[in-house]
């Protein structure tokens, strides 16, 4: 049974291009399936999360991260009686707009676009993907996803000022997104914070001593595990502490969001939309621990000297190719040359690069740059 404040598929604002209903799947299930079958979704398999696959094939990619976000999201949605099919669709599509080389590739593209008076935002690029670049159906352009999924693609992680984004006027920028979309920002962070601790430890860039000393929430659970399993070895104790920490973050998000819903008195999606702030949230104590964990990862992992060469390589490759096509646009594939009739050269090149996998952009760079 869905809560009254959940998005009911019967009340969906629908698709841009009307379609007849399916006999066995509701519209949010169909959205989920269209996302899974999209080329852009498959490409996530070869896009960096934190560590490139050149280092090891054990580390998370954008695809495995996405699957983990979907699992956590469905658990929380079920506990809060939200629409699990909508939540799963949003979780599966939330990173589809990321370029190769993780955040270093994203930052490189954004800096390059700023030089041309434009910008790069992976959420807005994801909307372009599902509305224009994915061409699978004879009856309509794009994936023709429901309004709620398209809205969630844009608004799941932050709010856009209506005056700054007039092209998004149809997406209710002056309102909060439904709770299903609000969850994704938190489940995304739960997934990557815990996974990046795991991958960082596996890569020998993070030490147990540092994690125990500097991350209070991890240290608390590790000391519990030391008491319960004294003889299993550091790796298994680490795994068990990480599992308990993840469980705590999920449980806190469920219970605190449930309490905030009760306190606010919301009874409908419209009530959610008109709240002064988002209702999906950790408790203040857990949010402080989450922020400490994130700061630790920023200092000890994401900006570590060991990852600087990987990030510098990604930045150089993106910049080399972008500038190459700025100077020689005729060497772009035909479809992208045609796109320049209606969009700027920089935007077209940005779209082309953002859609590439790590493997493809590396091969292309070798061919064009030697």
Mean pLDDT estimate for the chain: 95
User: What is the mean pLDDT of the segment spanning 88-107?
Assistant: 95
User: What is the mean pLDDT of the segment spanning 116-124?
Assistant: 96
Whether residue 225 sits in one domain with residue 102: yes
Q: What percent of the chain has pLDDT over 90?
A: 91
Whether residue 63 sits in one domain with residue 25: yes
Whether residue 339 sits in one domain with residue 202: no
User: What pLDDT, on the 0 to 100 scale, is given for residue 187?
Assistant: 98
Tens digits of per-residue pLDDT, 262-300?
Answer: 999 999 999 999 999 999 999 999 999 999 999 999 999
Tens digits of per-residue pLDDT, 20-66?
Answer: 999 999 999 999 999 999 999 999 999 988 876 655 567 889 999 99
Question: Is 329 inside a domain boundary?
Answer: yes
> Which of 309, 331, 358 is the C-terminal boundary of a domain?
309
Question: Is 3 inside a domain boundary?
Answer: no
> Which of 265, 294, 309 is the C-terminal boundary of a domain?
309
Query: What pLDDT band is residue 106 in, cutting at 50, 70 and 90?
Result: very high
SS3 string, the chain, reads: CCCCCCCCHHHCCCECCCCCCCCCCCHHHHHHHHHHCCHHHHHHHHCECCCCCCCCCCCCEHHHHHHHHHHHHHHHHHHCCCCHHHHHHHHHHCCCCCCCCHHHHHHHHHHHHHCCCCCCCHHHHHHHHHHHHCCCCCCCCCCCCEHHHHHHHHHCCCCCCCCCCHHHHHHCCCCCCCHHHHHHHHHHHHHHHHHHHHHHHHCCCCCHHHHHHHCHHHHHHHHHHHHHCCCCCHHHHHHHHHHHHHHHHHHHHHHHHHHHHHHHCCCCHHHHHCCCCCCCCCCHHHHHHHHHHHHHHHHHHHCCHHHHHHHHHHHHHHHHHHHHHHHCHHHCCHHHHHHCCCCCHHHHHHHHHHCCCHHHHHHHHHHHHC
User: What is the mean pLDDT of the segment spanning 339-366?
Assistant: 96
Whether residue 342 sits in one domain with residue 233: no
Whether residue 231 sits in one domain with residue 345: no
Question: Is 200 inside a domain boundary?
Answer: yes
User: What pLDDT, on the 0 to 100 scale, is given for residue 21?
Assistant: 94
User: What pLDDT, on the 0 to 100 scale, is given for residue 54?
Assistant: 55
138 pLDDT above the threshold of 80: yes
Question: Is 4 inside a domain boundary?
Answer: no
Whether residue 71 sits in one domain with residue 215: yes
Give the CATH number for residue 294: 1.10.3210.10
Whether residue 209 sits in one domain with residue 93: yes
> Which of 269, 287, 309 is the C-terminal boundary of a domain?
309
Question: Is 13 inside a domain boundary?
Answer: yes
User: What is the mean pLDDT of the segment spanning 251-269?
Assistant: 98
Whether residue 191 sits in one domain with residue 78: yes
Tens digits of per-residue pLDDT, 303-312?
Answer: 989 888 888 9
User: What pLDDT, on the 0 to 100 scale, is given for residue 53?
Assistant: 60
Question: Is 75 inside a domain boundary?
Answer: yes
Whether residue 350 sits in one domain with residue 283: no
Q: What percent of the chain has pLDDT over 70?
A: 98
Tens digits of per-residue pLDDT, 61-94?
Answer: 999 999 999 999 999 999 999 999 999 999 999 9
Whether residue 272 sits in one domain with residue 347: no
The parent domain of residue 355 ranges over 310-369
Tens digits of per-residue pLDDT, 175-233?
Answer: 999 999 999 999 999 999 999 999 999 989 999 999 999 999 999 999 999 999 988 99
Query: What pLDDT band is residue 370 in, cutting at 50, 70 and 90?
Result: confident
Whether residue 336 sits in one domain with residue 290: no
Whether residue 112 sits in one domain with residue 70: yes
User: What pLDDT, on the 0 to 100 scale, is given for residue 230?
Assistant: 83
Number of folded domains that form the chain: 2
339 pLDDT above the threshold of 80: yes
Question: Is 258 inside a domain boundary?
Answer: yes
Question: Is 108 inside a domain boundary?
Answer: yes
User: What pLDDT, on the 0 to 100 scale, is given for residue 49?
Assistant: 83
């Amino acid at each position: 049974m869905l809560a009254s404040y959940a998005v009911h598929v019967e009340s969906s604002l629908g698709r841009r291009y009307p379609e007849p209903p399916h006999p066995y799947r509701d519209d949010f299930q169909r959205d989920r399936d269209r996302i899974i079958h999209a080329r852009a979704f498959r490409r996530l398999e070869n896009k960096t999360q934190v560590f490139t696959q050149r280092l090891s094939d054990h580390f998370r990619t954008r695809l495995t991260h996405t699957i983990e976000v979907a699992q956590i999201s469905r658990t929380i949605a079920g506990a809060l009686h939200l629409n699990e099919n909508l939540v799963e669709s949003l979780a599966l599509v939330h990173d589809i707009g990321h370029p190769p080389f993780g955040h270093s590739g994203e930052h490189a593209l954004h800096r390059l676009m700023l030089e041309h008076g434009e910008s790069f935002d992976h959420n807005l690029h994801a909307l372009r993907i599902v509305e224009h670049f994915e061409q699978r159906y004879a009856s309509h352009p794009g994936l023709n996803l429901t309004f709620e999924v398209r809205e969630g693609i844009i608004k799941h992680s932050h709010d856009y000022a209506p005056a700054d984004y007039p092209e998004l006027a149809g997406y209710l920028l002056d309102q909060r997104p439904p709770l299903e979309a609000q969850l994704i920002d938190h489940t995304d962070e739960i997934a990557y914070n815990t996974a990046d601790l795991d991958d960082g430890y596996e890569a020998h860039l993070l030490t147990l001593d540092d994690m125990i000393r500097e991350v209070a929430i991890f240290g608390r659970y590790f000391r519990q595990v030391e008491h319960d399993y004294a003889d299993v070895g550091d790796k298994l104790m680490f795994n068990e502490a990480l599992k308990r920490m993840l469980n705590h973050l999920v449980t806190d998000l469920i219970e605190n969001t449930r309490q905030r819903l009760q306190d606010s008195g919301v009874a409908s999606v419209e009530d959610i939309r008109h709240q002064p702030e988002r209702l999906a949230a950790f408790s203040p104590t857990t949010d402080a621990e989450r922020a400490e964990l994130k700061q630790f990862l920023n200092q000890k992992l994401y900006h570590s000297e060991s990852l600087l060469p990987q990030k510098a390589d990604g930045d150089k490759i993106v910049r080399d190719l972008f500038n190459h096509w700025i100077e020689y646009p005729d060497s772009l594939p035909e479809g992208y040359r045609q796109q320049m009739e209606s969009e700027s050269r920089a935007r077209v090149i940005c779209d082309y690069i953002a859609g590439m996998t790590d493997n493809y952009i590396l091969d292309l760079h070798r061919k064009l740059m030697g």
